[in-house]
Amino acid sequence: MNKAETHRQNVKRVLVAAARSLLSNGGGVTDTLITDVCEQAGIHPHAFRTLFPTDDSFLDAVNDHLVEECAARIRHGVDQFVASDPSDRPFAQAAVALAESWPLDRGGMLIRADRRLQALRNNRNGGAAAAAERKFVAELVPVFSDLVAHLGRAFSWPSMLAVRVIVDTYEGSFETWLLDGNDETSFAESPYVSRTLPTLLKEMTEELGV
């Protein structure tokens, strides 16, 4: 990669990182948002469309950033996790380790939810929004496979389906936790983490070698 392309990629990363907080306010990619992120990146707003020709190309880059962030957090939790009990407790321990890695946060969830909402409301760009959601799950399959491997198990369900179920139920329960007025950092104490997630991890996996 030459210097010009390296600079281009660095600017794109700065723009995406700047949008991480602004997009969670809702409204999608607006002229105001573009101006704000370009100011933070030190470029003229007219240059934005040379880097991201469409709103969806920018939102795809933001989605890539979110999934990389999520995967890195889970990976850290997996690396810290050591199953220490031969009973059902490892599933509970794994669930807590996953939640304490804070794979999702309010801002990231709002960004993805708002993109879906905008696509539904405007009846356009739905394909791009749906593809981004599928990619989000697909990119998490390897790290979740590593998590269950730490339990001495492998997915007995199709891995994409298993991770889709975990992500969808986790997000739904996390949203309810927030709507009930709880702090997002304490989700590890939720009924979902203490009961539902351990059950899912047990029922959708099997011992290695079976």
pLDDT number for residue 6: 87
Backbone CA torsion sign across 150, 131, 31, 10: positive
What's the mean pLDDT when you consider all of the chain? 90
Look up the CATH number of domain 54-207.
Answer: 1.10.357
Domain positions in the chain: 1-52, 54-207
Structure tokens at 176: 């309810």
Single-letter residue type at 30: T
Residue pLDDT, tens place only, 193-210 = 999 999 999 999 999 875
Residue pLDDT, tens place only, 43-53 = 999 999 999 99
Residue pLDDT, tens place only, 79-93 = 887 655 555 578 999
pTM, whole model, 2 decimals?
Answer: 0.86
CB 147 within 8 A of CB 81: yes
Predicted confidence (pLDDT) at residue 3 exceeds the cutoff of 70: yes
Residue pLDDT, tens place only, 103-146 = 999 999 999 988 898 888 887 778 888 999 999 999 999 999 99
Q: Which residues pair with 153 in a beta bridge?
A: 207
